[in-house]
Structure formats: C-alpha cells, structure tokens
Amino acid sequence: MEKQNDSRARIWTGRVLSGLVVAFLLFDAAGKLARVEPVLKSAQELGFFEATILHIGLILLLCTILYAVPATSRIGAVLLTGYLGGAVVTHLRVDNPLFTHTVFPVYVGVLAWAGLALRDSRILRFFWSR
C-alpha cells in the first residue's frame, strides 16, 4: 500500500510541475500572440523583427499544447527543449545577465522534464536506468 501512495504522490507532483510549466509557457505565448507592447519591445531589444513575434508565439503554443497532452507529451518536451535552447542562445548573444535571463529557460526546461518524468515512468526509467 505504501508503494501505491508513493506512486500517486509522484504522479501528482509531476502533474503540478507540468501544470506550472504549461501555465507559464501559455502566458508567454499569449503575450506574443496578442502582440502586447512590452513583449514587442523586449523582442526588439533581443534582435527580433516585430513580424516574427507572431510566428514565435505560434511555435511556442504548438509545442506547449503537445507537451500538455499526455499522448504527445514526450515529443512536446523534446520540441520545448529546442525552443528553450534557442532562448538561451538569444540571451547569450545580447549578453544578458547569466542567472536571471540567460539560464532561466534552462530552469523551465528542467522543470518540464522533471514533471514529465514524474508523471511518466517510462521517462523516469530512461533517465535513471543502468
């Protein structure tokens, strides 16, 4: 019985972590899709043309939806990893502060994979098999 409770706690912890990641990324995508002024200004400071922000928002939205749906969560996590890697490079390119800007997408990626691993035992076994 104790093992079942551990398993349920692990799965729910994964769901909560994944939910936080999804909420954050949906908020980010919505700002891009709605073309909110601070988002446009920030994107321009990072070297992006205003016309590309819609495309970036759509890509983020698609990757986030794929991650949120259990049947496609693994491919969504892989795609989000690529997206977040691009964000790291963008911040490196403009010499933004390391821990608050540049590495922040890494934090999001780690939370996304941790959430997925906790709610999907196949991912957990993949990373921790010997």
Which domain does 72 fall in, by range? 2-128
Query: Model confidence over 65-78: pLDDT tens digits?
Result: 999 999 999 999 99
Exposed e or buried b per residue across 102-117, where buried means at least 16 C-beta atoms within 10 angstroms of its C-beta: bebbeebbeebbbbbb
Check residue 22 and give its pLDDT: 98
Check residue 124 and give its pLDDT: 82
Check residue 62 and give its pLDDT: 98
Number of domains in the chain: 1
- Residue stretches of the chain with pLDDT short of 50: none
Check residue 57 and give its pLDDT: 97
119 Cα distance to chain centroid: 16
Check residue 2 and give its pLDDT: 53
Check residue 130 and give its pLDDT: 60
Check residue 126 and give its pLDDT: 85
- DSSP 8-state code for residue 98: I
